[in-house]
Amino acid sequence: MTKPTQSFEKHAQFTPIYHYFTTPLAFVYLVWAIRRLITNPNADTVFMLVGALAILGLVAVTRLSPLRVQDRLIRLEERLRLARVLPADLQSRIEELAPRHLVALRFAPDAEVSELVRKVLANPAMTQKEIKQQVRNWRADHFRA
């Protein structure tokens, strides 16, 4: 099965059950619980609101925790790749790259990564979006959470 082509415009990862069902439903439940508390304030509606907040927190954590682990793995993978492909003058500066830089640089192929790393080190304030926009030949990442 052929993986879809990725580019800057088409690389965002969407998980339909999370983005189109679970999160909106949790927000709807939260709004409903707030409305119930306002219109009928009592212990039951307070507990409904607490439950709605707990569910929303759970929904957020179930998405954010794997993303955090994924970013840690990307950081490790990119440091190993950069140690292999960067010229000697840049290899000693890999630790200066912020995690957000490494996450964005993963889309740059080996042939382009040295130039991008130089730009990032010259301007550490570069955002992930700015880095990704400069990638000419996108290196797809299909193993994302």
Higher pLDDT, 67 or 6: 67
Question: For residue 4, is pLDDT > 80?
Answer: no
Spell out the domain ranges in the chain: 15-85, 87-139
CB count within 10 Å of CB 26 equals: 19
Half-sphere exposure of 69 (CA within 13 A, CB side): 8
| Whether residue 1 has pLDDT greater than 60 | no
Q: Helix, strand, coil proportions of the chain in percent (round to 5)?
A: 70, 0, 30
Ranges assigned E (strand) in 15-77: none
First-to-last C-alpha distance (Å) of the chain: 19
Reported as half-sphere exposure (CB side, CA atoms, 13 A), residue 111 has a value of 4
Task: Say yes or no to pLDDT of 51 above 90.
Answer: yes
Task: Specify the pLDDT at position 19.
Answer: 87
Tens-digit pLDDT profile for residues 122-138: 999 999 999 999 999 98
Give the type of residue at 52. Answer: A
Query: Tell me, what's the pLDDT at 26?
Result: 96
- Helix orientation angle between 23-39 and 43-85, rounded to the nearest 10 degrees: 150
Residue 139 pLDDT class (50, 70, 90 cuts)? confident
Report the distance separating Cα 54 and Cα 47, nearest Å. 10
Q: What is the pLDDT of residues 74-90, one digit of tens each?
A: 999 999 999 999 999 99
**Is the pLDDT assigned to residue 58 strictly greater than 90?**
yes
CA-based nearest residue to 21, from 81, 82, 75, 62: 62
User: pTM of the full predicted structure?
Assistant: 0.74
The whole-number pLDDT of residue 42 equals: 96
